Amino acid sequence: MLQVQNLTKRYGDKTAVNDMSFIVPDGKVTGFLGPNGAGKSTTMRMLVGLHKPTSGEALVNGKNYQSLKSPLHTVGALLDGKSVHPGRSARTHLMSIALTHGISAKRVDEVIGMTGLSQVAKRKVGGFSLGMNQRLGIASAILGDPHNVILDEPVNGLDPEGVVWVRQLAKYLASEGRAVLISSHLMSEMAQTADDLIIIGRGRLLEHTSIDELISRVGGHKVLVRTDERDLFASLLAERSLPFEAVDTDGLLVSADARDLGELALREQILLYELAPHEATLEDVYLEITRSEVEYVSDELPGAGAVAAGSSAPNAPAADPQLQPVTSSPEHSFIDETQQGNGRNI
C-alpha cells in the first residue's frame, strides 16, 4: 500500500504539493492524473525518497522509504527512462542492479525477454530510442519483484503493441495483490487500465474515486444535436435557459431530455439530422475538472472552431521499428521499475 498524509512540498515560495492525502490500495491499479506541473512527479519522487517533504508523510507499506530494509523488493518506480549510463549495455545495467540487491542473472535474462529487449540487450543504451529506454526502465522496475509499483508515464514512446502490454502488465500486477500507481496523459488508455483515479491540480487533490463514479457524477446527462440551423436552435435553448456547448461546426451538446429537444425542433420546424444521447468520456470529465488548474493555455488555432466535448484522445505514439512485438505471459512474475542510484532503488 502507498499512502501520503498531509503531504506538502515547497521550493522557495512555490508550493509543488499542497497538503495532499490519499491511499493507493493493494490489488488495484490507481491512475494518477493532472496537468503538467500539477505535482504528480514530485509526489512520486517523495514516495521513493528522492525528494524530502516539507511537511507530512509519504509512506510505503506504512513506512517512509529510508526505513525500508529491502527497498527494491518493496517498491519499484519508473521515474525517468533515460537515467542510465549511455555507455552501458541494457544487460550490464540490469546486472549492476541485480548484483547490488542479490538478484540472479537468470532473473535478469527473464525480464529482458519479458520486456522485449532480447535482441538489443548487448547494445549500448546511448543508442536506444525513447521506447527502448522506457522498456529498459520497466525491466529495471520488475527486477526486484516489489509489492508496490509506481510508473510515471510508462507508455511514453511505446508503439501501440507496447501500450497494450503495459496495460496488461499493470492489471496483472494488481491481480497479484500489488498496489499500482500509474500516471499518463493518454485518457483513453487510462480509462482501460485504472480501477480508481486520483486527479490533482496545482498540487492539490481534486478527485479520488472510481472511473465509473466520476464519469457519472461529472459527465452528467447530455444529448448531441446536429442541425444546419445550429445558431437558431442555440438561441431557442438560451431562451429556455438550457445549458449547451457548441460541438464542431454543426452540433450542440445539450443538458436536456432528448424527447423535449425533439419536440422543440418539431414546433419550430427545425430539421435535426442527429439527436442522440452522449456518454461522457474520461477525457471529457478530466478536462472539466482541471479546466481552471492548467498553467499553460494555448490560443485557439485559426479555423479550429469549437472543440467537441467528446473528441477522441491523442493518437497513440508511432511504432518503434527497433523493437520486436512482445507477448506478455502470466507465467512470469511481474514487478516494479527501479533504477540504481547510490546503491538504492529509484
**Mean pLDDT, 10 residues at a time, over the chain (346 residues)?**
98 97 98 96 97 98 94 91 84 95 93 93 92 92 92 92 92 95 94 96 96 86 93 95 91 92 96 92 92 70 43 41 41 37 38
- In sequence order, the β-bridge partners of residue 9 are 17
**Separation in Å, CA 120 to CA 125, 136, 185:** 9, 10, 28
CB 133 within 8 Å of CB 80: no
Question: How long, in residues, is the chain?
Answer: 346
DSSP string computed for 138-153: HHHHTTS--SEEEEES
Rounded distance between C-alpha atoms, residue 271 and residue 227, angstroms: 6
**Neighbouring C-beta atoms of residue 118, cutoff 10 Å:** 15
Query: In 3D, which of 55, 72, 74 has the Cα closest to residue 63?
Result: 74
Domains and CATH numbers, the chain: 2-216+323-345 (3.40.50.300), 221-279 (3.30.70.790)
Nearest to 213 by CA among 198, 196, 199: 196
Maximum Cα interatomic distance, the chain, rounded to a whole number of Å: 78
- Helix-then-strand count for the chain, H and E: 11, 15
Q: What local confidence, expressed as pLDDT, does residue 300 receive?
A: 60
* DSSP 8-class letter at 298: P
d(CA 245, CA 249): 11
Contact assessment for residue 198 and residue 33, using Cβ atoms and an 8 Å cutoff: yes
Please name the residue that has the C-alpha cell 518493496.
74
**Calpha distance 34→14 (Å, rounded):** 18
Q: Which amino acid is at 190?
A: M
Q: How far is CA 300 from CA 211, 304, 306, 318, 327, in A?
A: 29, 7, 9, 26, 42
The Cα–Cα gap between 290 and 311 comes to: 16
pLDDT number for residue 337: 36
Q: Are 326 and 162 spatial neighbours (Cβ–Cβ below 8 Å)?
A: yes
